[in-house]
Amino acid sequence: EVQLLESGGDLVQPGGSLRLSCAASGFIFGNYAMSWVRQAPGKGLEWVSYIRGGGAVTHYADSVRGRFTFSRDNSKNTMYLHMNNLGADDTAVYYCAKCASSYGNDAFDVWGRGTLVTVSS
Amino acid sequence: DIVMTQSPDSLAVSLGERATINCRSSQSVLYSPDNHYYLAWYQQKPGQSPKLLIYWAFTRESGVPDRFSGSGSGTDFTLTISSLQAEDVAVYYCQQYYDIPWTFGQGTKVEIK
């Protein structure tokens, strides 16, 4: 069964940092592009970042560029989102999502359950 | 950025009746070399993560009931639930994956009348 499991969400103070992880199973992880999508409480979906299957290419939403870093370790079937200088607007459930292809211009065919990041003093 | 605008924001439909959700993109999401619309529809039930229903604007994901269908052309797309079931209560999102940043519509909440 194809699965994605996020972890690392927590309560963090404004200006703080956090690292989210997403463990994948049930498919050849390195063959697929991956993304992070977030959802603020009671709000809609917002794409955050993308990484190609090999990990060499990443893209970010303007709202997080320069603060977030997306990486992956294909040997561990795991991807990471390093988040710095967090603000209240970053409070959200963060989902990892699998792209249906390696290069990423494709729909998200598998989603994790999400991990909650709360930024508050 | 490509702006995705859904309508209506919410709708209430009787069981067994048709539900129609519209999505408009601010620019074309048709990639001419492969003649695909880079448009997907997702369903998010309360307390759950999103689930892919439709991709390439018209193709139903494996396992999705055939009462769900996608249609449209140009910059206007539609998700139709032909006969609403109780388990279809959810928020539905369209998304373009034609150009980064990939963007979602604001969501349409479907309820039972």
Each of the 113 residues of chain B gets a pLDDT tens digit; together they read 999 999 999 999 999 999 999 999 999 999 999 999 999 999 999 999 999 999 999 999 999 999 999 999 999 999 999 999 999 999 999 999 999 999 999 999 999 99
Partner A contacted by B51 (CB < 8 A): yes
Please name the member of A47, A62, A113 whose beta carbon is closest to the beta carbon of B102: A47
Q: What is the DSSP letter of B61?
A: P
- In B, which residues are within 8 Å of A95 by CB distance? 49-50
- In B, which residues are within 8 Å of A107 by CB distance? 40, 52, 55-56, 95, 97
Per the CB < 8 Å rule, is A105 touching B38?
yes
Confidence of residue A72 (pLDDT cuts 50, 70, 90): very high
**Nearest-angstrom CA–CA distance, A45 and B63:** 23
Per the CB < 8 Å rule, is A44 touching B105?
yes
Which residues, 6+ apart, have CB-to-CB distance to B47 below 8 Å? none
Per the CB < 8 Å rule, is A111 touching B55?
no
Beta bridge pairs of residue B5: B24
- In B, which residues are within 8 Å of A50 by CB distance? 100, 102
Coil, strand, or helix at residue B14? coil
Query: Which residue bears the tokens 């459930």?
Result: A93
The percent of residues above 70 in pLDDT, for chain A, comes to: 99
